[in-house]
Amino acid sequence: MALADTLTAVGTVALARCGGRPFGTHLFSVWPGASFAATAFPVRCTPGDNLAVHVAVAQAPPGSALVVDVSGEPEYGYVDEILAVAARARDVRGIVLDGCVRDVAAIARCELPVFGAGVAVREARPESGGSVGGPITMTAAGPVPLAVRRGDWIVADDDGVVCLPRGQVGAIITETMDSITREQAIIDAVCAGESTLDLLGLDPSRVSGWEGGADARGRRAGARPRPLGSRREVPARGAAGDPGRSRLSSRPAVGDSYRD
């Protein structure tokens, strides 16, 4: 399985739990179900201007994703229908920007995954400045600045956007696959009738109104999570017959294909 397919399958939630660096919660998918995993091609715009995005679409390596810093001025539509169609025609896999977009319905029709901070009818100018290919820092409306370099892996889906710094991708994937295996074991146990309180070693007596009784409190207080057996099949996203989840046939080896 190709690296991009693996990252898309496991999803942003698992990756963020295991070392992926999340972008701000202000970013959202322009159309439901959009997702991608690709290496970053960073773009820095001057405020209110998207000339650098046009340059990036023309210059970005096929199969990469544009990550756009709008220099703290998000209230313009930096990506529109024309740019989305042009990016898709040049095999750009997606666009993430900490600014606004416009022509939302048209972007959805062309099916380019675009993740932005909002929608704005005000048009960005394609006139001046900016840069492409160099390091950027995504800051607008985000919780903390997030540095992005060319070649970092970007993964985006309905749950958000994460960055996997180059040089750390293999380690993050290894930890993520182990985490997903453990999570699926817990889900299977819950489906078999077990309680998350027991499975996770939680102490419900700390919650006002708990009615489990003294015996239950004593049994659970300070309890450790119950060991769960490992599974070779690992859940992923979007399987038929299991909404939001599928199973990878086996855990992929982390070897040459995952080197940065």
Please report the pLDDT score of residue 84 as a whole number: 98
Specify which residues 234 forms β-bridges with: 248
How far apart, in Å, are the Cα atoms of 216 and each of 4, 189, 199, 207, 213?
A: 46, 19, 14, 13, 5
Please report the pLDDT score of residue 145 as a whole number: 83
Q: Are residues 40 and 132 in the same domain?
A: yes
Q: Are residues 98 and 216 in the same domain?
A: no
- Residues 179-216: tens digit of each pLDDT: 999 999 999 999 999 999 999 999 999 999 998 865 55
CA angle at residue 199 from 196 to 205, to 5 degrees? 65
- Residues 64-119: tens digit of each pLDDT: 999 999 988 999 999 999 999 999 999 999 999 999 999 999 999 999 999 999 99
Q: Is the pLDDT of residue 238 over 60?
A: no
Please report the pLDDT score of residue 26 as a whole number: 83
How far apart, in Å, are the Cα atoms of 121 and each of 99, 102, 148, 228?
A: 12, 6, 27, 52
Q: Are residues 31 and 155 in the same domain?
A: yes
Within a domain: 110:
yes
Q: Is the pLDDT of residue 254 over 80?
A: no
- The CATH number of residue 50's host domain is 3.50.30.40
Please report the pLDDT score of residue 256 as a whole number: 36
- Residues 157-183: tens digit of each pLDDT: 999 999 999 999 999 999 999 999 999
Instruction: Identify the domain boundary among 133, 167, 201.
Output: 167
Instruction: Identify the domain boundary among 125, 149, 167.
Output: 167
Please report the pLDDT score of residue 66 as a whole number: 98
Domain coverage including residue 59: 20-167
Domain count, the chain: 2
Q: Are residues 123 and 249 in the same domain?
A: no
List, in order, residues 6 or more apart from 97 with CB less than 8 Å away.
66, 67, 68, 69, 70, 78, 79, 114, 115, 116, 117
Q: Are residues 25 and 142 in the same domain?
A: yes
- Residues 13-66: tens digit of each pLDDT: 999 999 999 998 889 999 999 999 999 999 999 999 999 999 999 999 999 999
Within a domain: 239:
yes
Q: Are residues 35 and 142 in the same domain?
A: yes
Instruction: Identify the domain boundary among 167, 190, 215.
Output: 167
Residue 251 pLDDT class (50, 70, 90 cuts): very low
Q: Are residues 47 and 156 in the same domain?
A: yes
Q: Are residues 190 and 135 in the same domain?
A: no
